[in-house]
Chains A and B, each alone.
Chain A
Amino acid sequence: AQSVTQLGSHVSVSEGALVLLRCNYSSSVPPYLFWYVQYPNQGLQLLLKYTTGATLVKGINGFEAEFKKSETSFHLTKPSAHMSDAAEYFCAVTRRAGYSTLTFGKGTMLLVSP
């Protein structure tokens, strides 16, 4: 079985500050990992993914995440927050092999203040 824990249902930052959204996973086999962003009343947009290779993954809109196997983590970061980053962020995991589907974390709402 696999699961995802996102620490903090809400994270507040000031514009220009570092964004750090935390994600820890539990999986019996090395997983594939994803971050999605959702703006109000819209679908989910894939920000970035880790499948294999380099553990530091760069995504869209200046976001990046680092896969740390020893810490079972895949935290999302952005050096400087922009007002347009305010949205809900979901971390998700799936098994590398076999008949699998995405397991989502509960989500973290990012609030950006001027």
Chain B
Amino acid sequence: DTEVTQTPKHLVMGMTNKKSLKCEQHMGHRAMYWYKQKAKKPPELMFVYSYEKLSINESVPSRFSPECPNSSLLNLHLHALQPEDSALYLCASSQDRGTAAFFGQGTRLTVV
């Protein structure tokens, strides 16, 4: 099983809403990631969770909040988002940091 599962596939939310994106992998990988991807651009790293340690891209605003309930799950909590946060959000996992990452299908987020 080389699958990373993301839910939901699509999400529309208002600027005052609170929502969560979920990501799950059962490959025994020890690193999990959240990326943001705008149209016609490469993915931008937001967060890395590896060996129970969270690394944050300092340019990511605090309205995005990651949570790792266990080694197989990675959530991304969203609060008070802006329209410019509309994008494809990708979760990925890898055996270790610096090895090949496997990506989920993404959540298409639209903020209205």
Q: Chain A residues in contact with chain B, CB under 8 A? A: 32, 34, 36, 41-46, 49, 51, 90, 94-102, 104-107
Contacts and interface: CB of A to CB of B under 8 A. Distances in A.
B98 A94 contact: yes
Contacts, number: 54
For chain B, the bracket of interface size reads 20 to 34
Contact of B98 (A32, A42, A106, A107): A32
Interface string B68-107: 0000000000000000000010101000011111111110
Contacts of A49: 100
Closest 3 pairs (CB-CB, A-B): A104-B42, A100-B98, A43-B103
Contacts of A94: 98-99
Interface of B: 4, 6, 33, 40-43, 45, 48, 88, 90, 92, 97-106, 108
Main secondary structure of the interface of A (DSSP, over half): loop
Contact of B41 (A32, A36, A46, A106): A106
A90 B48 contact: no
A104 B48 CA distance: 16
A75 B106 CA distance: 27
A45 B105 CA distance: 9
10 contacts: A43-B6, A43-B90, A46-B100, A46-B101, A90-B43, A101-B45, A102-B45, A104-B42, A105-B42, A107-B41
Given A41-B106, A43-B106, A44-B90, A99 B43 contact: no
